Every structure is written in C-alpha cells, then in structure tokens.
Amino acid sequence: MSPSPLPRIAWIGLGIMGAPMAENLLKAGYPVAGYTLEAHKLDRLAAHGGTPAASVREAVRGADVVVTMLPADREVTAVVLGEDGVLAHARTGALVVDMSSIAPRTSAGLAVEAAARGLRMLDAPVSGGEAGAVEGTLSIMVGGEPADFDEAEPLLRALGTTVVRCGPHGAGQTVKAANQLIVAANIQACAEAVVFLEKSGVDLSAALDVLGGGLAASAVLSRKRDNFLARAYAPGFRIDLHHKDMGIVTAAAREVGAALPLGGLVATLVAAARAQGDGGLDHSALLRGVERLSGTTRNAA
C-alpha cells in the first residue's frame, strides 16, 4: 500500500524567515504554493520548486494546510480575515497555522473566527532567527487543539528540531513573548559586557571564548558573537520586529498582572535604539546603544 500523499501547503509571507522555511518544506517533499507582495521572492520560491500564486485567494485554493509568516498583528489579521483572505477562500476543514509573532489575544480571537467558518487554527511562532530558519533547527511553540497539533507536527518537524504544544489557542504566542523577553535581555547584557571588556583593555575575542565556555554561555552569545566582534548588523531579526515583540510581552504581562521590571527597561532600550535609526539592523545592534551611552559609537558594518 503506497503512503498517503503529503498535504498541500499554501504559504503566505516569504520574508527573511518565511522564504527558507517554505524551501525546507519543498525539500521535504511537500507541494507548496506561495504568495507574498514582492515578485522577486515568488521567483525564488519557483526556483526551489514551489508554485507562485498571484493572490492569497489563489494560494489557499485547495490547500490542506495554510501557513502564515507575517510581520505583525495587523498583517496577520488582514490576511486571515480580509475579503480576499484565508478564511474567505480556504476549503472547509483546512488547518491554518500562523507562525508569525503576534499578541496572544489576537491569536485566540482568530482561532474563534476560524472555527466559526469551519476551519481549524494553530498559533505556532518560532525562535532561532534566520540561521534557524535556513538550517531547519527552529524552536516552535504551539497553541491549539491537541488533534490539530498532531496533524501539523510532521510538517513542523521539517522546520524545527524543538516542536512543543504549550497549551490552548494563544499559548504558543505567550511562550514566544517570554522568549523575546529573555533574548532581548540577554543581548543587552552581552552588549554591556562587550563595551565593559573593551574599555578595560581586554582581548574581546578571547574574553567571549571563555565566557562561552562557562555559566554565562548562551545561544545568544554563540549566535551573535561575530556580530559583536565585527559590528556587523545585517538583519537576521530586525530591531523593528523586536520592538514590536517587546510591546506584546509588556502588554500581555500587564493583562495578567505580572511585573516585568527588567523587561520594561529592556523594552525602553530597544525602543531607544529604534528611535536612533537602528530599527532596520539586527537586534545585536543593541550594542550600538550601549556604545552611544559610553561615548564609543562605531559605524555598523
């Protein structure tokens, strides 16, 4: 008996993260129809064996699973609920997997709207940045019904190495918000350590090597080490997006009565970096904010 064919995927959003993720599904044998606003990104999808679509409506027609990977709440809401959007044109019973990072409240609301139109929905945001998307090693945190998670899990494991259902609708986004809080605080601490070490006359490369071998080691320190050394801030994850995410975590924490004293400070520092014109740089460019405060600003590579 031949195995069942893999589900047909509609992929909406082919940015820094979305494009390599869709390509990993193609490598795994999934048929993928994709839509994004930039024509050259559709050409890239076609070059990897995907099917470019002229609209969301065209992409989702006949799809078994619709994946959205978009910048923020506004874009996700428009694509899912719009007149030419996912819920209006996906087939009844299709599974919608939103892998964007948006507010937990928004995810829960979209799941209710999907159910009312005969579709199912999971929130499945990711962590790991562009490198994780390319390598297929993302951490994926999922909210939704257990049966829907079980259905989506093989697909998600083509994209990440850590795939965990965290609870009901919105739970994945809540865990992602916590993730972004930890990452921002970690980057800020690393940036402050870099400036402290350099001003003290220490060999920075040697210092980061030894810090990376002790209790101060972290994925952030490992992934961003070269950024700090070279002051190279090509965006793997832009400060603009981390600013959005810090707004999500601080608002969600306020709703549940959780104090974030460090989180509030880091959110302010991220906002300040953005206000200083660094929004399009990688979030490791928080180092530039520490340098400005310390009087040692360098040009970004």
Active-site residues: which are they? 176
Who contacts 265 (Cβ-Cβ below 8 Å, separation ≥6)?
none
Bridging pattern class, strands 138-143 and 126-127 = antiparallel
Helices (H), the chain: 18-27, 39-47, 56-60, 73-81, 86-89, 104-116, 129-135, 146-157, 171-199, 204-211, 219-230, 239-256, 261-273, 286-294
CA distances from 77 to 22, 63, 129, 276 (A): 21, 19, 23, 29
8 A C-beta contact, residue 140 and residue 160 = yes
Q: Residues near 138 by Cβ (< 8 Å), separated by ≥ 6?
A: 21, 126, 127, 128, 132, 159, 160, 161, 162
* CA 101 to chain CA centroid, nearest Å: 6
